């Protein structure tokens, strides 16, 4: 398994109550992370945590919004304890985040929505490869069932399939055929769902 070089929180944000703020601080303390808190006149707070011995640090900003705090941050982490604490914080407090897990030669991009991983991509240079994407299939099927114009949708999908089959018949190289076959699989699956 490849060794992770660093974890970059491009953007992390979530909302906590006053009580949850104490739980968040305890989460960092449980992972033996040194924290320095600054409180501003307007009630906002900033928490800095020491990443490792050379003095690198990350900062979480707590902006007061009514009785809650809007927590945001953007930083690069190396120490596993801090990486785990941030991952747990995003999950526990149903946060949204864009996280780059950096390895030698590639980056894994994780997108969190409401505390859960919603998408994972592998990035090597300019190439992006989708590894995982959450799809709310049940909700989509319910919407489709309620749709009045399903017959029209079936007709459009059949037209798309026919067009793709025509394109496949005239395709010259294997890469183009593979792309068309992939799209055909998607469309035929869609047709199956619509007709069910």
- 159-176 pLDDT, tens digit per residue, is 889 888 988 888 888 998
- How distant is the alpha carbon of residue 193 from its chain centre? 27
pLDDT for the residue 115:
94
pLDDT for the residue 53:
57
Tens-digit pLDDT profile for residues 127-138? 999 999 888 777
**H-assigned helices in 9-117:** 18-30, 80-92
pLDDT for the residue 193:
86
pLDDT for the residue 95:
94
The domain ranges of the chain are 4-133, 137-195
Query: What's the whole-number mean pLDDT along residues 142-147?
Result: 68
Q: If DSSP codes are grouped into helix, strand and coil, which group holds residue 168?
A: helix
pLDDT, averaged across the chain: 87
pLDDT for the residue 137:
76
24, 98, 126, 179, 182 from 176: Cα distances, Å: 50, 32, 20, 5, 10
Q: How far apart are the first and last CA of the chain?
A: 43
Query: What's the whole-number mean pLDDT along residues 93-116?
Result: 95
pTM above 0.75, yes or no: no
Q: Which of 20, 138, 34 is nearest to 70 (CA)?
A: 20
Tens-digit pLDDT profile for residues 6-46? 999 999 999 999 899 999 999 988 988 888 888 888 878 89
Could you tell me the two tokens for 20? 């949850």
Query: Among the listed ranges 106-120, 138-152, 181-195, which one has the minimum average pLDDT value?
Result: 138-152
Please, are residues 118 and 111 in contact by the beta-carbon 8 Å criterion? yes
pLDDT for the residue 51:
55
In sequence order, which residues have a C-beta less than 8 Å from that of residue 62 and are 6 or more positions away?
Answer: 16, 21, 44, 45, 46, 47, 69, 70, 71
pLDDT exceeds 80 at position 148: no
Residues 147, 168: Cα–Cα separation, whole Å: 31
Looking at CATH, the fold of the domain delimited by 4-133 is given as Double Stranded RNA Binding Domain (3.30.160)
């Amino acid at each position: 398994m490849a060794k992770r070089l660093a974890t970059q929180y491009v953007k992390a944000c979530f909302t906590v109550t006053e009580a949850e703020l104490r739980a968040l601080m305890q989460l960092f303390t449980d992972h033996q992370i040194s924290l320095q808190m600054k409180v501003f006149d307007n009630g906002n707070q900033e928490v800095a945590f020491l990443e490792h011995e050379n003095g690198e640090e990350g900062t979480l900003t707590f902006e007061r919004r009514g009785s809650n705090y809007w927590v945001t941050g953007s930083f690069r982490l190396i120490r596993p304890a801090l990486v785990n604490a941030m991952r747990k914080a995003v999950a526990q407090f149903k946060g949204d985040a864009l996280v780059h897990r950096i390895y030698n030669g590639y980056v894994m991009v994780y997108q969190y929505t409401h505390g859960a991983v919603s998408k994972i991509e592998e990035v090597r240079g300019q190439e992006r490869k989708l590894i995982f994407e959450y799809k709310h299939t049940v909700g989509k099927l319910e919407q489709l069932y309620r749709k009045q114009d399903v017959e029209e949708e079936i007709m459009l999908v059949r037209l798309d399939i026919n067009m793709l089959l025509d394109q496949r018949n005239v395709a010259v190289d294997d890469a183009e055929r593979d792309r068309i076959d992939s799209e055909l699989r998607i469309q035929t699956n869609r047709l199956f769902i619509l007709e069910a």
